[in-house]
Chain A
């Protein structure tokens, strides 16, 4: 817990200082995750700022961010640890050349020591040495398969990793664990049960304007207002992929890069690709007339 934070409101304030607008609910969720030392499971549409939570937390807590991007087929050797077999072999060869393999049992024990163990993100997070515990981001956990979720159970409930040849490695201080999911698949209840849960929704008009102000300070106030209003209209438009906050920010940045002072039809047409990523969605938006989007 960062110094001076005794209530979720303080935390909300700290996050805002680092350009992240959490709001009361998410701030309380993060506050409790830090206080109770529980992993935080974040769900929500793509682009609502789930991954960003981990990034801003690592900045706020002044610690490192260890990220594990999940994908299908990810296994222990890619996520937790791996023995460095090549180095072990080399060690054997060297020892043989020096005639140091006499005491066999002692020699074998030496092969399974820490220096032959390669850390992957989860082991790095558990072993992390530093002033503050690290932030561990397990991103898009829904992309991994069931087998992998099972590995996560031990790590997230005990903050310990058991390596058969070596023993159990326990975290001195548990990392701040953030799990995100896009809900492409239902994550197992056993995993969710070990976490606090929060669903991040699209922000309302006022909050989204504030977010854009914070994140794209170069944008003219009029432009910011217009862009956010346009995005909120797009979200109500029944699109295949309604734009998230990430798209709002991309769009505003694109417009600023083109030197736009305010949103007009020409500008929308030129930059629509940064906010709508489906051809059908673009057509639907164009049908609705750009005037409607521009709000004039």
Chain B
């Protein structure tokens, strides 16, 4: 075996260090990094820096982590403490939400039918019970139920065409068919626009006032993201955090741990207007909210300037196909949108729902798919 040059060994170890900081640079990327180093001057710090940045990063957000790791590893100026806590520790832990595999609801035994009725009744109660009053056991039950809610955006006409029995003439396939019948186009083929679900963008407020609901709503967002239809998820605190990637993990526990790890300002205050502005500026206007179903899950308490919130809601309204606001407080009898933020946002909201219990989440799923009415 030939001695490998030290620079290549260093590249491999650097790749490992990056993975520990959370920048997932796979072995193929590290190989690419080594190939790049061969083409450049490895004694030149800048060459090594740029080679790594071009090959090991694949999104702008990686640059900051990369820069820090590069400083530590190749320049040795700062101690390892700057790398932050290792991946397995999180500042926020989520309790009581482990998921058990779905129980067989009926255990075939001597009692037979009785077992069915016994189990049926609590579920029915659960459907209407306010999340804030749930016991840990009931949460476990709820999460099992939640897996049944499919989130799928209202349909829109796609530019992609599919074959159909009538519609636009499809010369390509007609001629293709003609090839089989000796060049005689016996049957004409047609195609028409395909319908596909719109993107669903979920924005969940996790400020202190939403504490009794945010955990469940986050779980709901996970069900949506994991369903496979185009869905984006964000958490609104004092800052905006995108959690789509974290929630895409099929294992709900791991997904939620990942998401809560990504959020730094759990249960802090909200500046709803400012965080929504960040959403529209960075993501919404560029295309994510365009023609999408935008769902905001929040009680509408905003400590910032309400005019900012009202303006951002108008922007979202102009971009989105439908704006749905879910406010758990709405469930209270005689609810009035007294929170100033809520009042400012309402004119730009198409559907206003409560989202405080299972039944209302089902209603939300219907509103997202476009079946529910446009009432406020």
Main DSSP-derived SS at the B contact region? helix
Chain-B contact segment, one of A23-31, A248-256, A262-270? A23-31
Cβ contacts A192-203/B at 8 Å (1 or 0 each): 110011110000
B281 and chain A: residue at smallest CB distance:
A240
- CB of B187 within 8 A of chain A? no
Stretch at the interface among A179-187, A205-213, A215-223: A179-187
Nearest-neighbour CB distance to chain B for A102, whole angstroms, equals: 13
The answer to whether B54 and A85 touch across the interface, beta carbons within 8 angstroms, is no
In the complex where A25-B50, A82-B172 touch, is A7 in contact with B41 (Cβ < 8 A)? Answer: yes
Cβ contact within 8 Å between B179 and A111:
yes
State the CA gap A28–B60 with chains docked (Å): 17
A88, CB-defined interface residue at 8 Å: yes
B325 to chain A, nearest CB (A): 22
B343 CB–A CB distance under 8 Å: no
The yes or no answer to A71 lying at the interface (CB within 8 A) is yes
- Is there contact, CB below 8 Å, between A197 and B175? no
**Total contacting residues, chain B, CB less than 8 A:** 43
Binary interface encoding of chain B residues 33-57 relative to chain A, with 1 for a CB under 8 A from any of its CBs, else 0: 0011001110000110011011101
B287 & A24 in contact (Cβ 8 Å cutoff): no
Residues on the B chain within 8 Å of A183, using CB: 286
Chain A residues lying within 8 Å of B160, measured Cβ to Cβ, are 72-73, 75, 145, 147
CB of B178 within 8 A of chain A? yes
Question: Would you call A184 and B179 a contact (CB within 8 A)?
Answer: no
With contact pairs A7-B41, A36-B32, A199-B63 given, residues A192 and B159 touching in the complex (Cβ less than 8 Å): no
Q: Which of B39, B51, B171 has the most CB of A within 10 A?
A: B39
A161 → chain B, closest Cβ, in Å?
18
Residue of B nearest to A90 (CB): B183
The residue of chain B having its C-beta at the shortest distance from the C-beta of A45 within the complex is B286
Do residues A28 and B50 form an inter-chain contact, with CB atoms below 8 A? yes
Q: Measured between C-beta atoms, what is the minimum distance from A30 to chain B in Å?
A: 9
The interface residues of chain B lying within 8 Å CB-to-CB of A289 are: none
Asked if A89 CB lies within 8 Å of chain B CBs, one says yes
Q: Does A162 sit within 8 A of B, measured CB to CB?
A: no
B54 lies within 8 A of A198 (CB)? yes
CB atoms of B60 and A43 under 8 A apart: yes
Q: Which residue of B lies closest to A191 (CB)?
A: B58
**B122 at interface, CB cutoff 8 A:** no
A185 engages B54 (CB within 8 Å): no
Q: Which residues of B contact A92 (CB under 8 A)?
A: 182-183
Bound CA span A142–B60, Å = 15
Cα distance A83–B173 in the bound complex, in angstroms: 10
B28 contacts A by Cβ under 8 Å: yes
A86 vs B171: C-alpha distance when bound (angstroms): 9
A35 interface neighbour in B39, B244, B290, Cβ under 8 Å: B39
Contacts of A24 in B (CB 8 A): 46, 50
Other A-B contacts than A73-B159, A199-B59, 16 sampled, CB-CB below 8 A, are A8-B47, A28-B51, A35-B39, A36-B32, A72-B160, A83-B172, A85-B172, A85-B179, A88-B179, A89-B175, A89-B185, A182-B286, A192-B58, A193-B26, A197-B55, A197-B59
Q: Which 9 pairs, one residue from A and one from B, show the smallest C-beta to C-beta distance?
A: A184-B287, A85-B175, A73-B159, A92-B183, A28-B50, A73-B160, A199-B60, A192-B58, A29-B54
List 22 interface pairs A-B (beta carbons < 8 Å), by A numbering. A24-B50, A25-B53, A28-B54, A29-B50, A35-B39, A38-B32, A43-B60, A73-B159, A85-B174, A88-B179, A89-B178, A89-B185, A93-B183, A145-B160, A183-B286, A184-B288, A184-B290, A192-B58, A193-B29, A197-B57, A198-B54, A240-B315
